Amino acid sequence: MKIITAEWLFDGEKFLKNKAVLFEEKILAVDTPDTLKKRYSNAEFIDMGQNSTIMPGFINPHVHLEFGANKTHLSYGNFMTWLNSVIQKRDELIESCKAGCYKREIDEMLASGITTFGAVSSYGKELRACLAAPQRVIFFNEAIGSQPAAVDALYADFLQRLNQSREAANDKFIPAIAIHSPYSVHPILIKKILQNIENEPLSAHFMESPVEKEWLEKADGPFKEFFENFLNQTKPLTTAKEFLKHLDGYKALLTHAVWADKDELNLIADAGHTIIHCPRSNRLLGCGRLRLEKLNSTKISWLLGTDGLSSNTSLNLWDEMRSALMMHYEMDLESLALDLLKVVTSKAANALNLPIGEIKEGNWADIIIVTLPDIPESSEQLPLQLILHTTNVKQLYISGEKYA
């Protein structure tokens, strides 16, 4: 049993003073340090000292570990150019990201305070590394494929991977399902997959790029040539709205949604889906800026993800938050900073329906401690100062076990 205290506690919603956390595998109590010390006098007492903050471990809900070998190989700035570079380099990159590569990515996330991540898996190659990860992992088995003739084979492969991860399920390994995107998955495959869901988290890329919009809405644009050449396909499989209708009744995590229009956002809001925002990935692939202010006004819940190293330079959510502050330069700095800390903790846990993300009794003891370089003058500025000054955490616990 441990009691940990620091100058501040961020419980996932707000910053509190004079608080300590009693925990084993789970959080047993949150109270003043004095009360907990008196009541649990044989617990180990850890005081992280001034300028430190106890927070829930971060949740990175969208990462492609398979592309961890990429540094400078892919072409950035334009979605089609990037996609073509991915297709060209895909085998080489995936082949060169082996166990050591996955471990580097997992360790980088760990050092920065990510205690839960959602790995989107195309082939299941990173399964072993994810099972060995100290973190809680949501393992998104991804289905992709638009050829009608291949649906059965694709589904069988998907199911085999899904079942493999279902067998491995435990408190720290959560099998989940990903549908690649509206443009790349045949509606029949989507239906087969959805029929198979047993309450698993469900994710999909959605309206990431302007070319995706042009293709889905007008069967035109650079994707037309791409689909004709690669897949002998002349029309999109579905519209964005039809795709959303498939997902009705599920609470899905839709990644990107930069190009979702007003109607689509309303459908997303009505269905209670959540959007995963990946600002750096969007910028590097020439996809522009997700209108966060529109999501806020439509009351759509959004999270923050790093995406994979195929479209980013780090898997660090602090880096991502700093980039988000710059990209959304018109949004109020102080309140955006607080929102960012909420979306990587309580809001992400809520969307994933996991007992983490808040420092409260009964949740898993996924706890990080970060320390500022100096004393902030006001508590209103704390979220911002934490984001500006943090890259890695001081201490980190997952299910109460210390990893950093």
Active site residues: 208
In this structure, are residues 70 and 310 in contact, taking their beta carbons and an 8 Å threshold? Answer: yes
Cβ–Cβ under 8 Å, residues 25 and 399: yes
Contact mark string toward a second copy, 49..78, x via CB under 8 A: ----------------------xxxxxxxx
> Smallest distance from the beta carbon of 207 to a second copy, in angstroms?
17
Does 164 participate in binding a second copy (rule CB under 8 A)? no
Number of neighbouring beta carbons within 10 Å of residue 1:
12
Contact window for a second copy (CB under 8 A) among 152-160, 161-169, 286-294, 302-310:
286-294
Find the binding residues for a second copy in span 343-372 (CB under 8 A): 372
Question: Binding residue for a second copy (CB under 8 A) from 172, 283, 342, 347?
Answer: 283
Of 267, 285, 149, 138, which Cα lies nearest the Cα of 210?
A: 285
Residues 373-402 vs a second copy: string with x where CB under 8 A? xxxxxx--x--xx--xx-------------
280 lies in the site for a second copy, by CB under 8 A: yes
377 in Cβ contact with 397 (< 8 Å) = no
Using alpha carbons, select from 352, 340, 341, 349 the residue that is nearest to residue 279: 340
Cβ contacts of residue 191 below 8 Å, gap of 6+?
246
Q: For residue 289, state whether it binds a second copy (rule: CB under 8 A).
A: yes
- Residue number with CB closer to a second copy (189 or 327): 327
Could you tell me how many helices (H) and strands (E) the chain has, helices first? 16, 18
Query: Which lies closer to a second copy via its Cβ, residue 70 or residue 274?
Result: 70
| Type of residue at 124 | G
Residue 370's DSSP bridge partners are 53
Based on the shown chain and the rule CB under 8 A, indicate whether residue 91 belongs to the binding site for a second copy.
no
| Residue 107 CB-density burial (10 A; 0-12 exposed, 13-18 middle, 19+ buried) | middle
The correct pick among 2, 89, 205, 246 for binding a second copy (CB under 8 A) is: 89
**Residues contributing to the site for a second copy (CB under 8 A):** 71-78, 85, 89, 279-280, 282-284, 286, 288-289, 313, 322-323, 325-327, 329-330, 332-334, 372-378, 381, 384-385, 388-389
